[in-house]
Amino acid sequence: MEAKSKDLWVFIETKEDGSAKNVGIELLNPGRELANKQGGKLVAVVVGYNTKAAVEEAGKHGADQIIVVDGEEYKVFSTDAYKLAMLHVIEKYAPTTILIGATPEGRDFAPRLSCNLKTGLTADCTGLDIDDETGNMIWTRPTFGGNLMACIMCPDNRPQMGTVRPGVFKKPAETENKAEVITEDFHVTPDQIRTEVLKVMKESAADFVDLEGADIIVSGGRGVGGADGFKILKDLADALGGVVGASRAAVDEGWISHSHQVGQTGKTVGPKLYIACGISGAIQHAAGITGSDVIVAINKDADAPIFDIADYGVVGNLFDIVPVFTEEVKKLKG
């Protein structure tokens, strides 16, 4: 497809109540810089039902223009409905670039959409840029199990498309910007939706860990030595008002559930404070925490790679250090 504009689009995924999920708003942040480099507008595309809240949020976080597809058939995600809605607006307006969150929904419909558009799709990106020479997007993503980072371009087809991990970018600051809102009256008939949601099974409160939304994360790696080692990390996390994370090594050992895993094969996070306890700092883990405002590393190996990316480092046994840290936090909180 030939692009009709230099606009960059960000897909704003919605919740069942019509509000925006974090990842779409986060992508407006790099989207602003990339749209400026392309010489086009930053356009938010909202698909869902009763989407007023999502539209308002996209506007106040910097979108120049918002394209809305609203209908009851979009209340519950279905691959067919979302793909057809996006296909309609893309073929009509023909943007140059599209960013989609690498959520279960985004990972589902984005490949089908790119196939229909006969263009490429770079999945699970953790870095975005534009090549000054060609104007092509540079999509950066982990490969070979996270041991290498690949830079991928799609020079011959448009739109350029990529899914981007949640938590990689921070939400942009609110602005006084007044976005133009375009409502597309596009509806999908029941016979066009080939699947039906029979039951939604949500994680129990005990299993759910909101790593992507957490301001403070206390994570443990192989150095915690076992499941019992996570008890002192939870004490610290509770004292700080945070949650417990883990490296892949700890999850693979069965010490803690996969829902706590941080890194390339887990969740990419960007908390205000990330405390890594007994984590060596392999590239797969490091790439998942680079969005953190402050990283504190506690490790008895002074040469551990985690210290290369940490803002503060403590060399020592975590079982000696973490309980003292916890007590000091409790004292400060009175």
Q: How do residues 1-38 score in pLDDT, each as one tens digit? A: 888 999 999 999 999 899 999 999 999 999 999 999 99
Give the N- to C-terminal CA distance of the chain in Å, as an integer. Answer: 62
Q: What is the pLDDT of residue 14?
A: 95
Is 282 annotated in a binding site? The answer is yes
Alpha-carbon span 66 to 56, nearest angstrom: 9
Is 278 annotated in a binding site? The answer is yes
139 three-state secondary structure: strand
The per-residue pLDDT for range 323-332, each reduced to its tens digit, is 999 999 999 9
Q: What is the pLDDT of residue 16?
A: 85
* Residue 148: pLDDT over 80: no
Q: What is the pLDDT of residue 268?
A: 86
* Residue 207: pLDDT over 70: no
Is 261 annotated in a binding site? The answer is yes
Is CATH 3.40.50.620 correct for 8-192?
yes
Is 263 annotated in a binding site? The answer is yes
CA distances from 162 to 63, 101, 267 (A): 19, 8, 18
CA distances from 6 to 40, 127, 135, 164, 216 (A): 4, 20, 10, 20, 38
Domains 8-192 and 216-332 share a fold: yes
* Residue 206: pLDDT over 70: no
The per-residue pLDDT for range 213-268, each reduced to its tens digit, is 899 999 999 999 999 999 999 999 999 999 999 999 999 999 999 889 998 778 88
Is 309 annotated in a binding site? The answer is no
Is 158 annotated in a binding site? The answer is no
Is 222 annotated in a binding site? The answer is yes
* Residue 145: pLDDT over 90: no
Q: Which two tokens stand for residue 303?
A: 């040469």
DSSP 36-79: HHHTS-EEEEEEESS-HHHHHHHHHTT-SEEEEEE-GGGSS--H
Over range 294-312, report the average pLDDT.
95
Is 310 annotated in a binding site? The answer is no
Which class in CATH covers the domain with range 216-332?
Answer: alpha beta
Is 265 annotated in a binding site? The answer is yes
Q: What value does the mean pLDDT of the chain take? A: 92
Q: Which amino acid is at 232?
A: I
Domain spans of the chain?
8-192, 216-332
Angle formed at CA 244 by CA 242 and CA 249, multiple of 5 degrees: 155
* Residue 144: pLDDT over 80: no
Is 280 annotated in a binding site? The answer is yes
Answer for the pair 271, 243: CB distance below 8 angstroms, yes or no.
Answer: no
Q: Give the full edge-to-edge strand order of the sheet including 312-315.
A: 243-246, 216-220, 273-277, 294-299, 312-315
| High-pLDDT (> 70) share of the chain, % | 97
Alpha-carbon span 126 to 256, nearest angstrom: 25
Q: Which of 41-45, 171-175, 281-285 has the lowest mean pLDDT?
A: 281-285
Q: What is the pLDDT of residue 52?
A: 96
301 three-state secondary structure: coil
